[in-house]
Amino acid sequence: MSANCVARFPLDLDLSRLSQAFHQQGIAHRFTEEQGQQWLWLADAGQLNHAKALVDDFVAGQLEVAEEEQAAPSFNLLLWLMRSPVTWLLIALGGLGYAAVVGPIAAFYESMTYTPIKIFGSKALIEKWQWAEPWRIFTPVFLHFSIAHIVFNAAAMLQIGSWIERLWGIRYYAWLCFISGVAGNVLQYSWSQSPMFGGLSGIVFGLFTFNGVTQVLQPAKAFALPKGMYIMLAVWLFAGFTPFFEQFFGVQMGNGAHLGGAVAGAVLALIANKDALKKRYL
């Protein structure tokens, strides 16, 4: 499944009426600014002909939009959730993981760490990795240690993850999240030798690198992000290896998780876009 660029418009053209018509017709779309123009993208190729017809009517000045839709486009919560179910499931489990960390459900927290732990008040007994509990290689991604931690990761997942899920499909997206999460967890534990870490950020970094590589090789299959976003993430990743966050915010960054997820996402993007890679560089 790939995104489709339906049309390009001047930057100063007001497209709100066209967008309202798309909402009215149930056509999932997104506008981006690229190369000095506004680009219209669709995630569902099955709606391409319908969308082009609406664009033609808009250009000809014959597009009709119901007044109630124009004033207040309807919002279908169920449809919104169904378009990116894996993203929402990960966020929901991340919220549950936060509740397990700060709430009175220590047994659930203990079952999700990379290696088994047993909490006794303010102390924890840490055991070694057990192959009999293989789910632990992934479940730390759900553990969050503050409101800011889960909110930041959830916002990032919604921004980039939900779009990749629509572009590449639920199955591929689920594998992308799983592999990025596992790679981040394994590298984090290998470096720190402590299971006291967690968060969706490893997956988040994997999604951004996957999208960044895809944006270079096959822009139509990527969510269009400005270069500044990738520069900011690179700076964030680099800063995590310095005393900056701990010195000024008292936060220890999961650098292994971030780096592991980022590398996994980039590698998976190269594999997924291998045909485009060969055409471009070979």
The angle that helices 255-272 and 227-239 make with each other, rounded to 10 degrees, is 140
Class of domain 82-281: mainly alpha
By residue count, the chain amounts to: 282
Q: Which pLDDT does position 23 carry in this prediction?
A: 80
> At residue 120, does pLDDT exceed 90?
no
Per-residue pLDDT tens over the stretch 24-79: 777 888 788 777 788 888 767 777 888 888 888 888 777 777 654 434 445 566 76
Residue 8: helix, strand or coil by DSSP? strand
Q: Which pLDDT does position 72 carry in this prediction?
A: 44
More confident residue, 193 or 138: 138
Question: Of all residues in the chain, what percent are helix, strand and coil, respectively (each to 5)?
Answer: 65, 10, 25
**Domains 4-75 and 82-281 belong to one CATH topology:** no
Q: How far apart are CA 41 and CA 56, in angstroms?
A: 15
Domain ranges of the chain: 4-75, 82-281
Nearest to 215 by CA among 273, 282, 278, 157: 273
Rounded to the nearest integer, the mean pLDDT of the chain is 85
Residue 9: helix, strand or coil by DSSP? strand
Per-residue pLDDT tens over the stretch 210-263: 999 999 998 888 888 888 889 999 998 898 888 777 777 666 778 899 999 999
Q: Which pLDDT does position 73 carry in this prediction?
A: 46
> At residue 2, does pLDDT exceed 60?
no
Check if CATH label 3.90.25.10 holds for domain 4-75: no
| DSSP summary character for residue 69 | H
| DSSP summary character for residue 118 | E
Q: How far apart are CA 29 and CA 42, in angstroms?
A: 5
pTM of the model: 0.72
